[in-house]
Amino acid sequence: MTEVRRLLLVSLGLLFLSMVTTRFQVVAPSALRAGTASITRASVVVADNIRRAYVTLLDERDLSREVGRLGRQNDVLRQQNELLRREVSRLKQVMNITTTQAPNALGIAQVIAVDPSPLLARLDLNMGSRDGVRLRMPVTVPAGLVGQITDVSEHSSTVVALVDPESSVGVTLQGNKGGRGLARGIPPDRLRAEFSRSVPIKVGDVLVTNSLGGVFPVGVRVGTVEKVLPLGPNDISRTVIVKPSVDVGVIEDVTLLEGL
């Protein structure tokens, strides 16, 4: 009986102790918990914003590098595209000339210099004897005749254009209208052609090459009659002023033809 009483007293004591400790447990006030929670949330937001800003900075740096790389690549592609465009244009020029003017084209040369004198019309080309260029080779473009080669070195050559005072070319009226004449250059940008008095030439007529001199292919466009000079009572020839079909001051590429 004593033992049972002792166990009962121990149980009651433990129950009392439990009640006391539960009653006087320290609990944080709700206001303190709320303030702590706000601070915690703010810290999390600030940390997250800092992380996002750092990631954005890294992304922008990588993006800037990629934009620079793509820009350089685009410049290279643009240059390659321009080279291809010019090459296609040059091939079309050769095809045009071999179809409409002469089948024996040597190749296309670039104009690398123009004589600065207003009294001369001469072009330097980037092709020479090593490329097969020879004296008196005709030089042309799709629009018409440019001139002929008058000087050749190993790596370059010189063209005397039709409007040069030392140039001359045999011409005739386009369209089998007859008439054989000789056109000479008159600086800075015209030709003077002389025909027989009986040739019915008029302003607007187109002149093309004939076989005179045996240098140029027949039928290549030379220019258009701009003015017919009045005939004197003793004149035996008719003189006309011709505007050339090709403005040598602006051409960049020319085609060289094999001699006849």
Does position 21 have pLDDT exceeding 60, yes or no?
no
The model's pLDDT over 119-164, given as tens digits with 9 standing for 90+, comes to 999 999 999 999 999 999 999 999 999 999 999 999 999 999 999 9
| Average pLDDT value for residue range 38-44 | 69
Read off the pLDDT of residues 170-208 as tens digits, 9 standing for 90 and up.
999 998 887 899 999 999 999 999 999 889 999 999 999
DSSP 4-57: HHHHHHHHHHHHHHHHHHHHT-----HHHHHHHHHHHHHHHHHHHHHHHHHHHH
- Quote the CA–CA distance of 65 and 242 in Å, as a whole number: 59
CA dihedral 64, 68, 71, 73 (to 10 degrees): -130
Q: Mean pLDDT score of the chain, rounded to an integer? A: 83
Contact 165, 150 (CB under 8 A): no
Identity at 200, one-letter amino acid code: P
pLDDT digits (tens, 9 = 90+) for 227-250: 999 988 888 899 999 999 999 999
- SS in 3 state form for 201-225? CCCCCEEEECCCCCCCCCCCEEEEE
Going by C-alpha positions, the residue among 257, 251, 244, 245 that lies closest to residue 112 is 251
β partners of residue 256: 107, 139
Phi and psi based region of residue 103 (left: phi greater than 0; alpha: psi -120 to 50; beta: remaining): alpha
